[in-house]
Each structure stands twice: as C-alpha cells, then as structure tokens.
Amino acid sequence: MTNFHHAGAFVVQFREVTDFERGRVEGRVEHIASGRVAYFTSMEELREAFAQSSKSAPAEHPKSRGSTAG
C-alpha cells in the first residue's frame, strides 16, 4: 500500500436498510484527515461527499506537490 496518504482516506458506514441490488444506500462517510462527516441517502450524495472532501483536503501526496491545478 505504498503511495497512499490519509488525505485521501475515508470510512464509509452503511445503514442496515442499504440494499445494493435495489439501489438503496444510506449511511455516513468520514474523511480521515479532516474528521468531516457527511450523511447520505443515495449514491449521488455519497459521491458528492467524496468530491467535497477531496476539494477541501490539502494535496499532500508527493506526486501532487508539483501540480498546477487549483
């Protein structure tokens, strides 16, 4: 597991009502580096939570240090 950094790490916890076969997901996602928690009731909300945390997380990965994206 080299080249991974906690800035991109998440814990996803699904509620018991989650049924992937029927497309139902509910739960919470926690961004490890910031401690931010978001609750979701759909895959779209889960994706949005990942995107928001990724945008606000500092880019500390060695490969991203030379990036000009911002």
Residue 68 domain-assigned? Answer: no
Please check whether residue 66 lies inside any domain of the structure. Answer: no
**Would you say residue 65 has pLDDT above 50?**
no
Tell me if 22 is assigned to some domain: yes
Q: In the 3-class helix/strand/coil scheme, how is the chain assigned residue by residue?
A: CCCCCHHHCEEEEECCCCEHHHCECCEEEEECCCCCEEEECCHHHHHHHHHHHHHHCCCCCHHHCCCCCC
Residue 53 in any domain: the answer is yes
pLDDT 10s digits, 40-52? 999 999 999 888 8
What is the per-residue pLDDT for 70?
41
Look at residue 67 and tell me if it is in a domain. Answer: no
Note whether residue 45 is domain-resident.
yes
Which pTM value belongs to this model?
A: 0.69
User: Which residues form the domain of 24?
Assistant: 7-59
Residue 70 lies in a domain: no
Render pLDDT for 7-30 as a digit per residue (tens, 0 to 9).
Answer: 788 999 999 999 999 999 999 999
The number of folded domains in the chain is: 1
Residue 61 predicted with pLDDT over 70: no
